[in-house]
Amino acid sequence: MPLERIVDAAISLVDEQGAEALSMRSLAKRLDSGTATLYRHFGSRAQLVDHVVDAVLGGIDLDGGAAAPSATWQQSCATAAHAMFDTLARHPNVATLLTERIPVGSNAMRQREFMINTLLAAGFDPALAARAYATLARYVLGFAIQIGASAGAESLPSPADAPPGRHPATAAVAAYLPVPLASEFGFGLDLILEGLTGLLARTADRSGRQAP
């Protein structure tokens, strides 16, 4: 029983029936096998989930737009972040699994290397590059986790449910809520990258003034 066959079956199961349908029993049945066989390949259900998540993250193509030589560092970061978000959005039920296990597979490591390399090349010093990467990664992950949740029900509670007169400000903007998650994601990502651009400029100014 090749490991890849198990992982592929698990992804199909989650795509079709949701993250909560991925049990060792249901997966074993889909493979015409028993649960004990699965435990010959994975020490626990958590390890299986790690493989499922990393297999999906492997579908991200960094060598496309994100790594284009003509791209600015902001474009590279934005493209990489969107690629990860979009890939998980294509598997919303797999995204839900991110709440169980934070990615630790080799594809997640590849993503990390790409982003940190981009930031260092842009001129961020190592300490700031680490902070910038951490915030970006956490931002993407935080939104990705909520893809699954917002897929089923309305993402955030609809303002229509609010008591009539008690929430006037909410009522005033109710026509514009809820904002689609993908739109929120891009909006906030641009704000963060704009903030980082300002931060980098101030850092460069200071070191420029000190050195010569």
Q: Assess contact for 129 and 119: CB atoms under 8 A.
A: yes
SS3 annotation, 150-166: HHHCCCCCCHHHCCCCC
**26 in contact with DNA (CB under 7 A):** yes
Nearer to its own copies, 167 or 206 (CB): 167
Nearer to its own copies, 34 or 126 (CB): 126
Task: Measure the CA–CA gap between 90 and 182, rounded to whole angstroms.
Answer: 12
Which tokens belong to 112?
């990390």
Residue 175 contact, options DNA, its own copies, none, Cβ 5-8 Å cut-off depending on partner type = its own copies
Among 33, 74, 99, 197, binds DNA (CB under 7 A): 33
Which range touches DNA (CB under 7 A), out of 23-31, 56-64, 128-136, 147-155?
23-31
Nearer to its own copies, 9 or 116 (CB): 116
Task: Measure the CA–CA gap between 91 and 178, rounded to whole angstroms.
Answer: 22
- State CA 30 to chain mean position distance: 28
Among 5, 25, 90, 138, binds DNA (CB under 7 A): 25
**45 in contact with DNA (CB under 7 A):** yes
Among 5, 8, 16, 40, binds DNA (CB under 7 A): 40
Nearer to DNA, 104 or 204 (CB): 104
The single-letter DSSP state of residue 72 is: -
**3 in contact with DNA (CB under 7 A):** no
Nearest in space to 73 (alpha carbons), one of 126, 113, 122:
122
Burial of 185 (0-12, 13-18, 19+ CB in 10 A): buried
Residue 35 contact, options DNA, its own copies, none, Cβ 5-8 Å cut-off depending on partner type = DNA
**99 in contact with DNA (CB under 7 A):** no
- What are phi and psi for residue 72, nearest 5 degrees? -70, 165
Residue 198 contact, options DNA, its own copies, none, Cβ 5-8 Å cut-off depending on partner type = its own copies
Which range touches DNA (CB under 7 A), out of 24-32, 69-77, 143-151, 165-173?
24-32
Task: Measure the CA–CA gap between 196 and 124, rounded to whole angstroms.
Answer: 10
Residues 6+ away with beta carbon under 8 Å from 202: none
Provide the binding-site residues for DNA, judged by CB under 7 A.
1, 21-26, 33-37, 39-40, 43-46
